[in-house]
Amino acid sequence: MLVLLPPSEGKASADRGAPLDLGSLSLPGLHDARQTVLAELVELCSADEGKAREVLGLSEGLRGEVAKNAGLRTAGARPAGEIYTGVLYDALGLASLDPAAQRRAAGSLLVFSGLWGAVRVTDRIPSYRCSMGVKLPGLGALAGHWRAPMAGVLPEAAGGGLVLDLRSSAYAAAWRPKGEVAGRTASVRVLHAPTRKVVSHFNKATKGRIVRSLLTDGAVPQGPSELVTALRDLGYAVETQPPGRAGRPWSLDVLVEEIH
């Protein structure tokens, strides 16, 4: 099983520790594309703070994020699972998983990123600010920059089992499963059952709980239909939308009665 996650906007500090070793990151086929984005981002943030804030969509109160990006090459790095914070990652609670579930997380979770493309939760990275929606001056839209490298790397990373896609639309734009891989991919929405509406906070929190439940249980569904069974066995209310034809992803709705 491969689980595709969005990053968090907020990130923990990584002041201490050895600096980034770009060549050590998982998915080495993304190395050149990572080097390019890193160089563009560091150059932008080292040259003109005002322009960098405009490009990155940062308010005056977040001007410190520009300096953080300028120092990415020498900043301390920590495992990505410790860097990413926020509602989904709080609910996932990687640090509190038992050792077996942590091993499963290391092998199955893939976090998408405007800067790194995608990383494993064990990959050591510095704290940074660069969403997939950013258009860097020398590269244009980052989602477009990542599409070709991702297309060459992600099908192999997906292996032969389920691909559980929990990404937001901005990050999904960087890689869309195709063909045989798409047929065993399931995307998930979390809906407030009485209204059938998505609410951002409990959408993220429930996705984190779903991943934690699967990791803790040790469930390894091989495809979308097996995922539906596993989630229902874990107590989730799930509605399915099988694809209209072969080679298309499944869509699952997880229904939540209470917003929390």
pLDDT in tens, the chain (260 residues): 999 999 998 898 877 789 999 999 999 999 999 999 999 999 999 999 999 999 999 999 898 999 999 999 999 999 999 999 989 999 999 999 999 999 999 999 999 999 999 999 999 999 999 999 999 998 999 999 999 999 999 999 999 999 999 999 999 999 999 999 999 999 999 998 888 888 777 889 999 999 999 999 999 999 999 999 999 999 999 999 888 777 789 999 999 887 65
DSSP 235-255: T-EEEEE--SSTTS-EEEEEE
Measured CA to CA, the distance from residue 51 to residue 138 in angstroms comes to 13
DSSP tag of 21: -
Buried residues in 18-49 as b, exposed as e (16+ CB within 10 A): eebeeeebbbeebeebbeebbebbebbbeeee
Residue-number span of the structural domain to which 91 is assigned: 2-256
User: In this structure, what is the dihedral angle of CA atoms 20, 9, 107, 79, given to the nearest 10 degrees?
Assistant: 30
Question: Is the distance from CB of 2 to CB of 158 less than 8 angstroms?
Answer: yes
Measured CA to CA, the distance from residue 43 to residue 135 in angstroms comes to 14
Structural domain total, the chain: 1
pTM: 0.94
Question: Is the distance from CB of 129 to CB of 75 less than 8 angstroms?
Answer: no
